[in-house]
A and B are shown apart, each in its own frame.
Chain A
């Protein structure tokens, strides 16, 4: 078939085109489609539409974390060794030793004051979930980490948000052990509830979805009701509380990113924090705004959407994103 006579569906069905759109094409394919695009200005609109469509259909599914896979592999390995009935004593011992090494290297343990902590983190462009022993679920947004004691004794349950953003669904325990989240000097005290903590900017933002929490900083305390967000600047003794649209602040849990009259300046900050790229944005474009909802975790799609909406020229190479006004040539 000839791409010159392709309909939208034809482009979308062409595997080579799909790969080009996603940026996973071989060099030959890449050159072919680039040349084709260059030489067919009358097809530009159709091709761009097809490209964005491929991107919006494509998703990267969440990866099972390494530690889980390693533990699961140890089970397989043990079953294999069992069935081959070789001398067991030493092999068993080796399997357990390997298991300990695997877990330790995957989770990174460290010790202080006799307490062992585990750090959980999510890399750029991905979220990850942490199940704590008490049934509490923490969802980490991209480029975020928390620290938790490896074992909880009778005392309070404590979690440190070391960077980024996390959503907590705290389970109640029988003896109503308190649960604390610490973020840059800010303390959040909880009793069975759902809330979001974000320390990406200079301040810490605590958004409560359900239940009740108390936010404290230095000597100031405030209690939030669902739908409220506390904004705490570490250098001030004041806590700001505002009512917010909850679905906007927990949209990342549903793998959505929502913009509402968001300036491109803010958008580029968000991109940098989530995907670990450096953005260059023309001064003149900083106050342009976008609104809408996109799947999270797909930087290409987001950039494509901005490019089309504001008719800009966006390049994304290595870890550099450049956003410029389009210099019209062909039009």
Chain B
């Protein structure tokens, strides 16, 4: 039952636009830019907190896609754009020496901008059990959960973006769920105590 039917309209719309992009239609590029900007921006902020750098990289990526002479006919434009973006961002970080050996530290604890403002340390204690559980996972497992549950990428897309195989993604999720078992069940039910 774990088959991925993937016949959603959204997907075929992406493929249509990719075909139009191959024919150098600028409107098709704009379509992808508007559609995936938020996804790329949020994902980028998980890798590095420099909003300016993330935005610049998004722009570079789209200029680069436009200027690429022989764009491949990809099956899934979303993963393609994500991969290019991630590589571009990591390259930039390496260049800026913000990243030591080129290792990728996936940061779950990106405080959203709202949270950044709150400097009160005691507020941190308010974070839900789930967040604490997530923090205890290795970065790679956290990244996979993030891509699945925050960004709604399917296992194949995650595999493409991370350059690993489908089964590894599935195994990672299964393992994370095992580790999170206590906290997610507690977090989702018991945290909401009740009084009649």
Contact = CB atoms under 8 A, between A and B. Distances in A.
Contacts of A76: 29, 33, 59, 62-63, 66
Given A56-B187, A292-B192, A69 B151 contact: no
B126 A293 contact: yes
B71 to A, nearest CB: 14
Contact of B194 (A60, A139, A289, A301): A289
A12 B177 contact: yes
Contacts of A291: 192-195
Contacts of A315: none
Contacts of B151: 61
Given A72-B55, A73-B30, A139-B114, A49 B63 contact: no
Contacts of B96: none
Interface in B91-119: 112-115, 117-118
Interface in B25-46: 26, 29-30, 33-34, 37-38, 41-42
Contacts of A80: 26, 29, 63, 66-67
Nearest to B187: A56
A57 B145 contact: yes
Given A77-B26, A80-B26, A255-B112, A69 B33 contact: yes
Nearest to B42: A61
A172 interface: no
A10 B178 CA distance: 9
Contacts of B154: 15
Interface string A39-57: 0000000000100111111
Contact of A295 (B117, B128, B196): B128
Contacts, number: 157
B121 interface: no
A29 B5 contact: yes
Contacts of A61: 38, 42, 150-151
A293 B1 contact: no
B63 A255 contact: no
Contact of B188 (A16, A73, A305): A305
Interface string B118-148: 1000010010101000000000000001001
B3 interface: yes
Give the interface centre of A29, A254, A255 by most chain B CB atoms within 10 Å. Answer: A254
Contacts of B117: 137, 169, 253
B2 A8 contact: no
Nearest to B156: A15
Categorize the interface residue count of chain A.
35 or more
A327 interface: no
9 closest A-B pairs by beta carbon, nearest first, are: A292-B192, A56-B188, A9-B177, A12-B177, A13-B174, A53-B184, A52-B188, A61-B42, A309-B194
Interface of B: 1-5, 7-8, 26, 29-30, 33-34, 37-38, 41-42, 55, 58-59, 62-63, 66-67, 112-115, 117-118, 123, 126, 128, 130, 145, 148-152, 154-155, 170, 173-174, 177-178, 180-181, 184-185, 187-189, 191-196
Interface of A: 1, 3, 8-10, 12-18, 24, 26, 28-29, 32, 49, 52-64, 69, 72-73, 75-77, 79-80, 83, 127, 129, 137, 139, 169, 247, 251, 253-256, 259, 261, 288-295, 301, 305, 308-310
Given A56-B130, A291-B194, 18 more contacts: A12-B184, A14-B1, A14-B2, A16-B2, A16-B3, A18-B149, A32-B1, A56-B184, A57-B145, A57-B184, A64-B37, A69-B34, A76-B66, A127-B114, A169-B117, A254-B118, A254-B123, A259-B192
12 contacts: A57-B130, A60-B150, A61-B42, A72-B58, A72-B59, A169-B117, A253-B117, A259-B192, A291-B193, A292-B191, A292-B192, A301-B188
